[in-house]
Amino acid sequence: METRRNIKDLTLSELHAWFEAQGEKPFRAKQIFHWVYQQQVERFEEMRNISKALKQKLNEHFYFSQLQRFEVCHSTDGSIKYAFELADGKKVESVLMPHRDHYTVCVSSQVGCAMGCDFCMTAKMGFVRNLTPGEILDQILEASKDLPEGEVVRNVVFMGMGEPFHNYDNLITTLRIMQSDNGLNFSARRVTVSTSGLVPQIVRFGNETVKAGLAVSLNGVNDEIRTQLMPVNKAYNLEKLVAACQAYPLESRKRITFEYILMADVTDSIEHAKRLLKLLHGLRFKVNLIPYNESPGSKYKRPKWEQVEAFQRYLLDRGVVATVRISKGQDIQGACGQLIQGSTKPEVKSEVAA
């Protein structure tokens, strides 16, 4: 007998094709999607408009993946940070963040990460494994259970553990399921994928039919600094990265977000701000400044607040859209998430415009 598949790993068209191949009505795929993603049931038995025989057949071929809540930390600012345990015992982090009028979930795309960035706690784990589409979707579904009555997750950001473009095919499948109107019905504008700068995947992503906002972690304004911080810069240096961003097919009124970590004396001077402007000149972009989140023993330091403001001011005064990410959940950072690496990454944030 074939091994069973996680029902949440299939796109609507794949499920459609499966029903067809089984000699069943293909519209069943939409019904299943409705139950899984809109009703969020976790067993075929609960699907009322599916016959008993078909339920049995589905159970023979598919199963429902489930995350275990290994640790859940509530912050006084309303954000919730999760350490989820996967079926094989590995753990990932996700964060549910309340904003004034909506909720955002920050998801992980891998266990660990292969990119080796010098400042990042996840990098210390090395690459462990890719998450399947179902395991990425599960983070959204599980966090949704903690929403107040009537609320939904409006935004999803791929800024947790892992490099999403290193798990490219699963990322695309996940986006397709998320954006399917019979699935989670996310609008492309509400989903952001953050990459450390894998140039071939940036090019490929620009040509996909499924869309999402693109965020690029810049962090260094010349090759020397960026290579020190991010080894990926050896393969794809700033010239190649900026060229790929220049060629990236943006829809009208869309911009590329450049994430830029402010680290005392390493990236936070006005000279760096000047260089950043030169580097990105001609692009449609905005900058998201992230004051460095220190962890015990980290060699980089967070700048003083005045320096963060001065950096932002320099950009704003020159007409650049520049926001500062203020970490939410500061009060739980020490207590929570020490169990898995990556805990000091700033998943829990809101953006503060000037």
Which option in ligand SF4, ligand SAH, none does residue 289 bind, with CB closer than 5 to 8 A by kind? Answer: none
Which residues on adjacent β-strands are paired with residue 261?
290
Shortest separation between residue 89's beta carbon and ligand SF4, angstroms: 21
- For residue 123, the partner it binds in ligand SF4, ligand SAH, none, with Cβ less than 5 to 8 A by kind, is ligand SF4
- Is 336 an active-site residue? yes
Q: Which is nearer to ligand SF4, 63 or 119 (CB)?
A: 119
Distances (CA, A) of 106 to 140, 158, 199, 236, 276: 8, 6, 23, 26, 27
**Token pair belonging to 37:** 């993603």
Residue 344's binding partner among ligand SAH, ligand SF4, none (Cβ under 5 to 8 angstroms by kind) is ligand SAH
Write the DSSP symbol of residue 120: -
Which listed residue (135, 142, 336, 347) is catalytic? 336
Of the residues 93, 163, 259, 347, only one is catalytic, namely 93
Neighbours of 326 (CB within 10 A): 16
By the rule CB under 6 A, 65 interacts with ligand SF4: no
Mark 210-249 with x for binding to ligand SF4 (rule: CB under 6 A) and - for no binding. Answer: -------x--------------------------------
User: What is the per-residue burial (b if ≥16 Cβ within 10 Å, else e) of 265-276?
Assistant: ebbbbeebbeeb
Q: Does 346 bind ligand SAH (CB under 6 A)?
A: yes
The residue (of 72 and 114) whose beta carbon lies closer to ligand SAH is 114
Contact string 101-130 vs ligand SF4 (x = CB under 6 A): ------------x-x-x--x-xx-------
Hey, what's the torsion of the CAs at 130, 132, 133, 135, to 10 degrees?
-100
Concatenating the DSSP letter of every residue in 6-28 gives EGGG--HHHHHHHHHHTTS-TTH
**Binding piece for ligand SAH, criterion CB under 6 A, among 78-86, 180-188, 268-276, 340-348:** 340-348
Site for ligand SAH in 218-237 (CB under 6 A): 219
What DSSP designation does 53 have? H
- Residue 219 interacts with, from ligand SAH, ligand SF4, none (CB under 5-8 Å by kind): ligand SAH
Say what angle helices 238-247 and 270-280 make with each other, to 10 degrees.
Answer: 50
Whether 245 is catalytic: no
The site partner of 312 among ligand SAH, ligand SF4, none (C-beta below 5 to 8 Å per kind) is: none
Q: Please state the separation of Cα 110 from the chain's center in Å.
A: 10
* 3-class state of residue 131 by DSSP: coil
Is residue 74 exposed (0-12), middle (13-18) or buried (19+ Cβ within 10 Å)? middle
Which of residues 41 and 326 has its CB atom nearest to ligand SAH in the complex?
326
Contacting ligand SAH within 243-282 (CB under 6 A):
259, 261
Among 6, 130, 196, 341, binds ligand SAH (CB under 6 A): 196
CB of 198 vs ligand SF4, minimal distance in Å:
9
CA distance 96 to 104: 6
Cα–Cα distance for residue pair 317/314, rounded to 1 Å? 5
Q: Which of 3, 24, 149, 86 is nearest to 32 (CA)?
A: 24
What are the backbone angles phi and psi of residue 144, rounded to the nearest 5°? -60, -25
Binding to ligand SAH (CB under 6 A) within 145-164 occurs at 159, 163
The residue behind tokens 């415009």 is 353
11 binds ligand SAH (CB under 6 A): no
Structure tokens at 186: 């996310």
The smaller minimum CB distance to ligand SAH, of residues 12 and 159, is found at: 159
Q: Which residues are catalytic?
A: 93, 336
User: Which positions lie near ligand SAH, rule CB under 6 A?
Assistant: 119-120, 159, 163, 194-196, 217, 219, 259, 261, 290, 292-293, 344-346
User: Which positions lie near ligand SF4, rule CB under 6 A?
Assistant: 113, 115, 117, 120, 122-123, 162-163, 196, 217
